[in-house]
Structure 1
Amino acid sequence: MHYKTTKAKSFALSVSAVALTAGIFLSATAPVRAGETLTIFSAVSTTNAMNEIVAAYKKKVGKIRVSFGATSTLAKQIENGAPADIFLSADNKWMDRLEKKKLIINDTRIPVVANSLALVAPKGSDFTIKVEKGMKLTEALKGKRLAVGDTDHTAVGLYFKDSAKYLGIWKSVEPTLAKANSVRAGLAMVERGEVGAGVVFKTSGLVSKKVTIIGEFPQESHGPITYPIAQIITSKNPDVRKFYDFLKTDEAKAAFAKYGFIPIIK
């Protein structure tokens, strides 16, 4: 009798486990219905413009949330399975990496806006220099450091590294770098006067009242600074298309232009 009771209980537990597993599987693979919250991962340099765009989308179209961060950080989170529907990157290299790993839907990858690279200094400082080949940037810093995003990971840092090599100043300026984990973090160093100058995206310099744009790095010194967008391979949200369409509206383009971006989405 004891054996039969134990066997019955075991069978019941097995059935429950199978049912639970099936329920979890069905829940995980169930299609996302239109109207569910759309999740965007967006490069931190787009914060001001995207906050306006997301607010307008939420008011006129549907549910949406956005998470900002360094492009490299967001890309790594996507690689680790973070739940996102759309990725707006400040760097094509990181999007290329996700594409090679088959983590985005290739047909949805398109450029949205363009930007440029700028040299900034604390407002009111006497820092000055002309951005050109062979410029004496280290001397102009007068012993102070140059803030920039990490030159091995962040979008702004990777662009600057290419530009500095093109201008022939990389070896001399590399030891002076104060590397930040994002363009915003680097900008904050300049705003607080912790460094002599910094390299940021022009759009970031334009929105700050605490820095002065000293000059822009030549476009030919680095790859095109375009921001690609793509749908994440695991996303099943049908409202992705609605957001793409909204980015093409005059309202969204005006929001980008307001903060110095050049809308190029078609």
Structure 2
Amino acid sequence: MSRFACFFIAAAMLSGFFPAAQAQHGTLTVFAAASMKNALDDVDAAFRAKTGIRVVASYAASSVLARQLEQGAPADVFVSADTDWMDYAVAGKSIDEPTRVNLLGNAIVLIAPNDSKIATVAIGPGFDLARLAGDGRIATGDVKAVPVGKYAKAALEKLGAWNAAAPKFAFADNVRAALLLVSRGEAALGIVYATDAKADPGVRIIGTFPADSHPPIVYPVAATAAAKAGTADYVAFLRSRAAKTIFEKYGFRFLVRPSA
């Protein structure tokens, strides 16, 4: 290749003549809350089919991901299961704040293994979760850090059920780990997102927590401060009608006006 050709290619890449994703080898890295796995895998597949850009997703508790970003872990997009951990990432300058948007909503539910004899219950003030669990354990995320656990504790405190039930809890590193404890029969009950319960045939929903018993469940998304040039197209796709259809299929509420 001639010296002039090499110069032209280099200049074209720097000027944006070639697509940004091509210049970045066609791969984006997304850090996303564990509860998003099934839905986001499908969204990412649809994005790749449309653009040819591969998305590598890393799923974990939002708290873990936010701290990894703080420590310099390479990612282009962060999707948190609550606003607190997105705020944390913003404060640590890990996030490109103008790209932030509240994308999805969810609900928390009480689940039991499919073969459990526990009947459907109405969850409200005076709800006796400790009595319902009996000698069994109750699984959810770590109430000090994992969003689903924080939502669960807030709801139970408001309903007057936390103090009695607290000793029966088994705290997991993320919501999917809590779901697995119930699905395997290692916990009698669990508090997870409605979307998680829908994704696992080994559990059934026996009650839904009132929306006003806990802070609104909001999933914000944003590009990271170190995002590749092609990231904006992916964030835009998350807001598209195509993505909305997929997210709603899995039970999420779409909180933004969808783009084309």
Q: TM-score, normalised by structure 2?
A: 0.87
Where does structure 2 lack aligned partners over 5 or more consecutive residues? 1-13
Asked if the contact 1:127–1:197 (Cα under 8 Å) also holds between the matched residues in 2, the reply is no
Q: Give the partner amino acid of 2:88.
A: R
Asked if the contact 1:40–1:86 (Cα under 8 Å) also holds between the matched residues in 2, the reply is yes
Asked if the contact 2:222–2:235 (Cα under 8 Å) also holds between the matched residues in 1, the reply is no
Give the % identical residues.
38
Corresponding residue for 1:264? 255
Once the 2 structures are TM-superposed, how far is the Cα of residue 31 of structure 1 from its aligned partner? 10
Once the 2 structures are TM-superposed, how far is the Cα of residue 145 of structure 1 from its aligned partner? 0.8
Bigger shift: 99-108 or 162-171?
99-108
**1:179-211 Cα distance to aligned partner (Å, 9 max, x none):** 100100000000011111000000000111111
Question: How big is the alpha-carbon RMSD for the aligned residues of Structure 1 and Structure 2?
Answer: 1.6
Runs of 4+ more than 6 Å apart: 30-33
Corresponding residue for 1:192? 184
Q: Distance in 2 between matches of 1:82 and 1:154?
A: 19
1:45 matches 2:35: yes
Structure 1 counterpart of 2:45, from 51, 55, 70: 55
SS of equivalent residue, structure 2 residue 73: coil
Structure 2 counterpart of 1:177, from 156, 164, 169: 169
Q: Give the partner amino acid of 1:94.
A: W
SS of equivalent residue, structure 1 residue 102: coil
Corresponding residue for 1:219? 211
Q: Distance in 2 between matches of 1:47 and 1:114?
A: 15
SS of equivalent residue, structure 1 residue 165: helix
Q: Distance in 2 between matches of 1:249 and 1:233?
A: 23
Q: Distance in 2 between matches of 1:234 and 1:240?
A: 10
Q: Distance in 1 between matches of 2:15 and 2:38?
A: 32
Q: Give the partner amino acid of 2:50.
A: K
Asked if the contact 1:130–1:215 (Cα under 8 Å) also holds between the matched residues in 2, the reply is yes
**1:88-107 Cα distance to aligned partner (Å, 9 max, x none):** 11111111111122221111
Q: Give the partner amino acid of 2:186.
A: E
Q: Distance in 2 between matches of 1:124 and 1:64?
A: 37
Corresponding residue for 2:10? none
SS of equivalent residue, structure 1 residue 229: strand
Corresponding residue for 1:24? none
Asked if the contact 1:127–1:196 (Cα under 8 Å) also holds between the matched residues in 2, the reply is no
**1:1-54 Cα distance to aligned partner (Å, 9 max, x none):** xxxxxxxxxxxxxxxxxxxxxxxxxxxxx9997112211111110001110111
1:157 matches 2:149: yes
Corresponding residue for 1:250? 241
Asked if the contact 1:115–1:201 (Cα under 8 Å) also holds between the matched residues in 2, the reply is yes
Corresponding residue for 1:123? 114
Once the 2 structures are TM-superposed, how far is the Cα of residue 264 of structure 1 from its aligned partner? 1.4
Rate the CA distance shift 1:254–1:221 in 2: closer, same or farther, 3 A. Answer: same
Q: Distance in 2 between matches of 1:252 and 1:136?
A: 39
Structure 2 counterpart of 1:87, from 55, 72, 78: 78
Once the 2 structures are TM-superposed, how far is the Cα of residue 233 of structure 1 from its aligned partner? 1.4
Asked if the contact 1:205–1:213 (Cα under 8 Å) also holds between the matched residues in 2, the reply is yes
Bigger shift: 134-143 or 197-206?
134-143
1:109 matches 2:103: no
Asked if the contact 2:29–2:56 (Cα under 8 Å) also holds between the matched residues in 1, the reply is yes
SS of equivalent residue, structure 2 residue 84: helix
Corresponding residue for 1:34? 20
Q: Distance in 1 between matches of 2:189 and 2:142?
A: 15
Q: Distance in 2 between matches of 1:39 and 1:31?
A: 23
Q: Distance in 2 between matches of 1:81 and 1:31?
A: 27
Q: Distance in 2 between matches of 1:121 and 1:152?
A: 23
Q: Distance in 1 between matches of 2:256 and 2:231?
A: 15
Where does structure 1 lack aligned partners over 5 or more consecutive residues? 1-29
